[in-house]
Amino acid sequence: MSFFSIFLALVLEQVRPMARQHFLHEGLRQWASWVARNVDAGQKPHGWLAWLVAVGVPSLLALLIHWLLALSLGWVFAVAWNVALLYTTLGFRQFSHHFTDLRDALEDGNEALARELLADWQQVDASALPRSEIVRHVIEHSVIDAHRHVFGVFVWYALLSVIGLGPVGAVAYRVSEFTSRYWAGKSSGLSSARSDTAPSESLSQASRQAWHWVDWLPARATALGFAIMGSFEDAMDGWRNHAQKFPNDNDDVILAATAGAIHIQLGGATLKPAQAVDHDADAQDTQAGGDSTPGRVPEVAHLAQVVGLVWRTVIMWLVLVALLSLANVLG
C-alpha cells in the first residue's frame, strides 16, 4: 500500500499541482498560531507541550481516520486517504517553480532577473551575487527543498506505514518542518504591533530542536541516496570531511554529499536576509557559511545534473518502498 500511495500521489501532483496559496496552508498557519496563543506560556515545558499539540493532534487525527477507513470501508479507501495526505505533504511542484524560473533566467543570460527571483524566493539580498554564486545558491536551496518536500516525507511515511501507522509519518514530518520555520520567523522579526501573537523563545527553540531530531534520519538517508546515485566515493568523502563547512547539522550532510556526488563546489558565503522580510512566508536560509567544498565551479549545466541526481534517487526510493511493501504483504 505504501508504494501505490506514494506513486499515485507523485503522479497526481505532477498532473495537477497544488496551488501555491492553498487553503490547507493557511489552515496550518492558523493552527500553529492558535496553539502558540493558547498553549505557549513562555516556559520550556510549555514550549514542548505546544509543539506536541501542534504536531501530535493532526498526526493522530490522520492515523485515526486511516484506521477507521481501513476497518469500516476497506483498504481501497485507506489508500485514497493516504494518497490525499501525501498529495498535500509530498511533491516537487510545491517548490520546483522557483527552480524552473531561475534556470530559465540563467539560461537566457538574464542575471538581473535571476538575482531578483532568488531574492524573492529566499527573502535575501542577492543584488551583488556573480553568476556562479547564483547557480550555487539555486543548487543548494533546491537540493534542501527536494529533501524536505520529497525524501524526508518518503522516509518517515515508508517506515511508519510498514508497521501499520499509515500516513502519520508524512503528516508529522511536514508539520514539524513547518512549525520550525513559522515559529522561528514569528519570534525573530515581528513588529511591536504584533508582538502579542509572537511565540516565546522557548517555543521557537523547542520547535527547532524537535525538527533537528525529526529530520536527523531522513537527512542521512537522502545523503546516502545521493551517494549511491552519484559518485559514491566522492560523496562519502564529502560527507565525512566537508560537512562541517555548512551551518546546519542535518542540511550539511546533504549538501556535502551532493557536492561530492556531482563534483561541484558548494558552500561559501551566506546570503544576508533582506531588510524587509515577510516572516509569514515559508522561507528559511539554509545556505553555507564557511569554505566551499572541492570540485568544479557551479555552472548552469550543473542544474541538469542535479535534476538527474534527484530523479534517480526518487526511483531508487520507490523501488525500495515497493520491496518493503511486498515483504510486508508476503510476511
pLDDT for the residue numbered 175: 95
Nearest to 35 by CA among 23, 53, 61, 57: 53
Residue ranges covered by each domain of the chain:
2-330
Distance CA 331, CA 329 (A): 5
- Rounded percentage of the chain residues whose pLDDT exceeds 90: 52
Distance CA 47, CA 49 (A): 5
Average of per-residue pLDDT across 37-48 = 90
Distance CA 98, CA 78 (A): 33
For residue 1, name the pLDDT band (cuts at 50, 70, 90): low
Q: Which residue has the cell 522516509?
A: 155
What would the pLDDT profile of 97-146 be if each residue is shown by its tens digit? Answer: 889 999 999 999 999 999 999 989 888 888 888 998 999 999 999 999 99
pLDDT for the residue numbered 38: 92
For residue 210, name the pLDDT band (cuts at 50, 70, 90): very high
Of 9-13, 196-200, 232-236, the poorest mean pLDDT is in 196-200
| pLDDT at position 281 over 90 | no
Q: Where are the alpha helices (DSSP H) in 108-200?
A: 111-122, 131-146, 152-162, 168-189
Nearest to 225 by CA among 215, 235, 211: 235
pLDDT for the residue numbered 91: 80
**152-156: long-range contacts (C-beta < 8 A, 24 or more apart)?**
152/177, 152/215, 152/218, 152/219, 152/222, 153/86, 153/89, 153/90, 154/6, 154/90, 154/218, 154/317, 154/321, 155/217, 155/218, 155/221, 155/222, 156/214, 156/218
Select the more confidently predicted residue: 330 or 179: 179
What would the pLDDT profile of 142-168 be if each residue is shown by its tens digit? Answer: 999 999 999 999 999 989 988 888 899
